[in-house]
Amino acid sequence: MSTFSHASTGEEVVTAFRDQIEGKTILITGPTPSPPSIGSHTALALAAANPHTIILAGRSVATLAPLLAEIRAINPRIRAKSVTLDLADTDAVRSCAREIVEDKEIDTVDVLINNAGVMALKEYEVTKQGVEKQFGVNWLGHWLFTNLLMKSGVLRLGGKEEGGKETARVVNVTSTAFEIGGVRLDDWNFENGRTYDPWLAYSQSKEANMLCSVGLAARYGSRGLRAFSAHPGVISGTNLATNVTPESFKDAWKLYQDVKGQGTTPTDPPKSLTQGTSTTLVAAFDPALTDSAKNGAFLRDGHVWALPEGSSAGDEGRAQKLWGVGEGIVGEKFEG
């Protein structure tokens, strides 16, 4: 595996893996261009490496228009497209997946980057279907979207006779916040909001992202799918932190110290936006990750990162249970 670090930039990763990016079709959720986001910067970094198609999926195609223009300015040969995706509504997720499947210009998606998210919503909110919003947007919407694209064949799976040769890759953007709480398999709606905590809800959604990668790897690895979770780092100035105040961050830090012990010091110094894209891009394109032994892994600072002792974020049994939760909510089975 290539050597990258906390200081590595997205541009450095794209340069290193240009051959793996060229000619690919890449779909990125949540690439908000204003203010600049990890998703938008990921798309701009990729444009320099000549992918075949970049598909931007966000809540408003009008908002994405300036980013499409920037991509085309960097490389006019790229087919750059946008689609409407509202992850807080499973009906809208199905509509977006259908639009992609029916688009005659999109034969296949080689890499899906599930980047969109919300963080530490101050008040208890739910999706259109009544799911706690961070759980619904960060995990459930992406989980459903991914499964629908696989079921349609756009996110291609191979036959088992192909020996698990890589056919497609999924990256779920997560956070080390998974350590402060994790998924409440029997109470993911926080007693319908009565016990809601902004940071525990965020933590739940981020462990769910990781369990999603573990579940995808377990179910579809033998058919060529590679799935990874990537922690971009602590990045200020993006719209993800809209709800985070200094007081709110103190609450998060207290929860972290409750888990890690009082006196624990931060181990994740802040990154610039371009540094924040690097681990996602490594997860999406590093050829060393084709190795099936790494399937489902968690990446941080540009390389596979061992989970803390006692963590449940890599537990295949919990991933299976969470998969069942998803099937129950959306009313559809997705079999491996």
Instruction: Give catalytic residues, as residue numbers.
Output: 202
192 residue type, one letter: N
d(CA 260, CA 119): 21
Q: What is the torsional sign of CA 180, 185, 189, 190?
A: negative
